Each structure stands twice: as structure tokens, then as C-alpha cells.
Amino acid sequence: MSDKDDLRKYSSEVIDGVEAAPARAMLRAVGFTDEDFTKPQIGIASTWAMVTPCNMHIDKLALEAEKGANAAGAKGVVFNTITISDGIANGTEGMKYSLVSREVIADSIETVVGCEGFDGLVTVGGCDKNMPGCLIGMARLNRPSIFVYGGTIRPGAGHTDIISVFEAVGQHARGDINEIQVKQIEEVAIPGPGSCGGMYTANTMASAIEAMGMSLPGSSSQDAVGSDKVSDSFRAGQQVMELLKLDLKPRDIMTRQAFENAIRVVIALAGSTNAVLHLLAMAHAVDVELTLDDFVELGKISPVVADLRPSGKYMMSELVAIGGIQPLMKRMLAAGMLHGDVMTVTGKTLAENLADVADYTDGQDVILPFDQPIKKDSHLVVLRGNLSPTGAVAKITGKEGLRFEGKARVYHGEEGALAGILNGEVQPGEVIVIRYEGPKGGPGMREMLSPTSAVMGKGLGKDVALITDGRFSGGSHGFVVGHITPEAFEGGPIALVEDGDRITIDAETREITVDVSDAVLAERKARWVRPQSKYRRGVLAKYAKTVSSASEGAVTDKYL
């Protein structure tokens, strides 16, 4: 038996022996040769599609990964999974499919690899649900695997990006700019391929995955267009062959300590609240115990040091230009903030990977020193109280203030809230409540990017708060609280709030409360009737039946 045969644990079951002649016949039609049947097979999961600029270039990156696998002596096989675009669907009914797509991606990768018998796997993702979806699929399969990030988009003219366009809608409603000016921003903000350009969810999750050790060093901090990303993809294909030889699999890398590293890097970068949802789901896939309380405890000792959009000044491409997240991670390791002995897809520990990384050059102010942080502890604040007994997640950098108190302005769904913001119904001093947007109630837990962008565009960012059982885009900023659990559809307290109720959000005490007595809430609960979902068939209906709470990652196999 050759060394290669030892590496063909799964493919040999599919294509070896006389009885597998039909399988080999099928594979010959797609280009396999006699020699290819003796090689380990590496699946290359591509999220390419022309539905979004985040993924429009990924077909070429997948082909580079295939070349890398072939050059290393394996047989690379490219297959596709889906992607959707939050940026396109936001504010519409279609956005209900966004978080659902994470599960579809994970399920489809597991299905193809499990069926076809690939021995290893490279996944290439761009738009934000791609990444946790890819990692969940890889974790379930537990075969030698590497994730490749498709890369960040470059800034549009005038330092614009997709959030500039969303906020222009609010500026137009306020009367600050006219329709022609909105169109001018629209025309230049997205100059080509790549994921949304701030520390929004895509760049957040790419950084978390690199910090976790599941992508090659530097993968998260590269422009989508350029030789670095091409090389990253090729090397990933090569490296999976090395992982096969080492028998190094996702569960060997995605340990409790690796998740702690990912959380602390996300905090340092002022990353998206969606990271909480996705990291909980990824941990579930590898049976690592991770809860909202872990984000609280790690948050107490983790400073925010990146001045990145949406709350900061710079875009991801500007972090790329100064060296990406590797120098930051080296600083964090030296300060005792990271576990250096965790294994990574290089076959080396995190500390070994960082040993020769150079620090940032003097004069940059994208990443601040630890003794001069933007916030001394985490911007991801887990809140509890009589409005969210099982936890909610706020994104509070301190620039919005640390406490907000105001009267509730209640909306059943995103559309009504957006209209209320744009038409002037929402007034300074109010807390906008958007409910029935949770995982079950939406269904699908839509992002509230359109309402939060309208708030900022209308100049209300410091004057109102917004809370929801839905979630937020990584591009959302302001005094916002999402993932309120239990959600309204489950009869959680957010379902019982009425216009005029006084709500208090305190980031320092980590409390979110409504000034209504337990007795009154109980009386309202007795009168509450769960609304009927209009989705009785199809993927959204299945999702609503199987999805867990946002406080548990909104996974669909929690209770199986």
C-alpha cells in the first residue's frame, strides 16, 4: 500500500474495486484518468455566483485551490454551493432567507462531501453567511480542511462603501441631499469584487476564522483583487494535502481555546454582533461548550483597539495595507491575550505562525496601543433583564454613550419601523422596538440595517435607541440592541411591550429593562396571542420549526 493509499480513507470507498466501475465511469466523464483514481480527492467548495460582488470572483479562486491540490499530488474537484446577498435583500421580505442560507450552505457542503467521498476539503467564501456555513459544514465532516476568504472590496470614490449608500437614503429623507446625490453615491460605492469594506460581518468572520487557525495566516486581510488572494487560494489547496498526511482535522483545531482566541480578536477589531451568533453555532458543530456568558467574561478583559468602520474611521483595505491582523495578533499574544499553543492549519501552533511577523510601522492609527484603547473592554455587550431574561447582544463602542432611557415606539416588523423613521414618526428620546423578527418569528432573523442606517442618515444616532429580536448587519451602528431572547414569537417580554413603556438600556450594568411590573407583564402575557406565520411550506417553514434561540446560535440541529 502506498502513502497515497493511506490518505484515501473516504475516496477509496467510492472508487476502488471492480464493483466501483460505474462510479469510475461517471468520473472519467468529468476528466478523471487512471492516475487520478490513485490520488486523494480534495473537494473545493466554491460559493461563486453573480448575485453579489462579494462572490463574483470566487470561481477563479476555487480554480486556484484546485491547481494547488493537484500540484501537491491530490485530485482537486470543484463544486458549488449557494450564496445570497444581504446588501441587496436588506429591508425586503427576501432578507428572511439570509441567516437561513448559513444552514443551507453547511448542509450542502456536508451533503456533497459526504456523498462523493472527498478525503479533504477547501471552502472559499465571501458574503458573510458563507463563512460560518463553510465552517459548520467542515466541522460536521471533520476531514482535513482549510477555509479561504474571498477578500475585502476596495473603497469606492470618496471613501464610500455599501453603508454610505444605506445612510444616503436616510440623508435624503432628512433633506440633506437630493436624489441625484444619492445616485452619485450609489454609482461609485461598490467599485468591484469583494466583501463589504468595513469591519462588518464578512471581515469580522474572516478574521475570527483566521484567529481560530482554520485559514492560512493572512487570509482574512487581503484585497479580493490581487496576487495575494490568488496565492492564498493556491497554497490552501496544497496545504490540505499536508493536513491529510498529518491527519489534522477541524476538531483538532477548533478547540475551546481557539474559540477564545477568535472572540478576543473580534473584540479587538470592534467586530460585528453577528460574530456572537455564528461563533455559538460553529462551537455547537464541534461540541465545544460556548455560551453568551463566555463573551461576557472574555469581554471584561479584552480592549477594542481598531478604529474601523462602521463606528470608526478606516476600512478593511486600510488595515490590509498596514499588515492586516497578524501584527495585532502578535501584540495580543505578547500581552497574554491569546492562547499561543493552539494548533492551526499550517501544522504549526499559533505562536509559531506569529514568530516572524513584523509589527506595524510607526505612524499608523488604524490599530491603537492597548494602553490607549477605543474602549477598555468589549463593545459586544450581553444584556439581561426583565426585557431579555435569556440574553441580548448590544454593539456599544462608547461613542453612542453607555446608557439610554426612553419611551417605547413599537413596530411589528422592520418595514413599519423603517417607514416610521423616514416619515418622522420616530422622535428623539424614543426607543424603537422592532419585534417578530427573531429566528422563528421572522422567520429568519432579518438584519435591521435599513432602519439603523435610516436612523444615522436622519441624524438621530445619538437621540434614539433601537432594540429588536432580529439582528444587525455588521454595518449597523448607533445605540442598538439585537438578539433579544426569548423572541416575541415565543411570547418573550419584547412581545408584551406597549407604546410609551419606559425602557432602560445600561451597558455598564449590562441590563435591559422595561419599567412595567411583573403583574402587568403577566396580565399582558395572558392576553397575548401568537401570530400566525404566513410560511406554511418550504425552507422558511422548515427553518422556523427546527431553529433554536439566538442565544444558542440559531442552529437547526440543536434538539435532534
- List of residues 6+ apart from 186 with CB closer than 8 A: 165, 168
The residues carrying an active-site annotation are 473
Strand order in the sheet with 75-80: 75-80, 41-46, 120-125, 145-149
- Cell, residue 150: 474571498
Q: Is 298 exposed, middle or buried (0-12, 13-18, 19+ CB in 10 A)?
A: buried
- Measure the CA–CA gap between 485 and 383, rounded to whole angstroms: 10
Nearest residue to 256 (alpha-carbon basis) of 287, 281, 221, 217:
287
Which of 441, 509, 479 is closest to 99 using CA atoms? 441
| In the block, residue with C-alpha cell 496576487 | 227
Phi, psi (deg, nearest 5) at residue 407: -85, 145
DSSP secondary structure, 101-152, as one string: HHHHHHHHHHHHHHHHT-SEEEEEE-STTHHHHHHHHHHHHTSSEEEEE--B
Question: Per DSSP, which regions of 126-216 are E strands?
Answer: 145-149
Residue pair 153/145 in contact (Cβ under 8 Å)? The answer is no
How many CB atoms are closer than 10 A to CB 78?
18
CB 467 within 8 A of CB 494: yes
What is d(CA 74, CA 39) in angstroms, rounded to the nearest whole number?
A: 5
For residues 271 and 304, is the Cβ–Cβ distance under 8 A?
no
- Residues near 217 by Cβ (< 8 Å), separated by ≥ 6? 210, 326, 344, 346, 353, 354, 357
Going by the DSSP 8-state scheme, the letter that residue 424 receives in this structure is: T
User: CA of 188: how far to CAs of 154, 171, 183, 517, in Å?
Assistant: 11, 17, 9, 51
Partners of 383 in the beta sheet? 392
Phi then psi for residue 282, to 5 deg, are: -65, -40
Distances (CA, A) of 457 to 122, 134, 254, 312, 314: 40, 34, 40, 16, 19
Cα(first)–Cα(last) distance of the chain, in Å? 40
> Which helix (H) or strand (E) element contains residue 62?
helix 58-71
Q: For residue 422, which amino acid is it?
A: L
In the block, residue with C-alpha cell 464610500: 160
Which of 136, 166, 88 is closest to 281 using CA atoms? 136
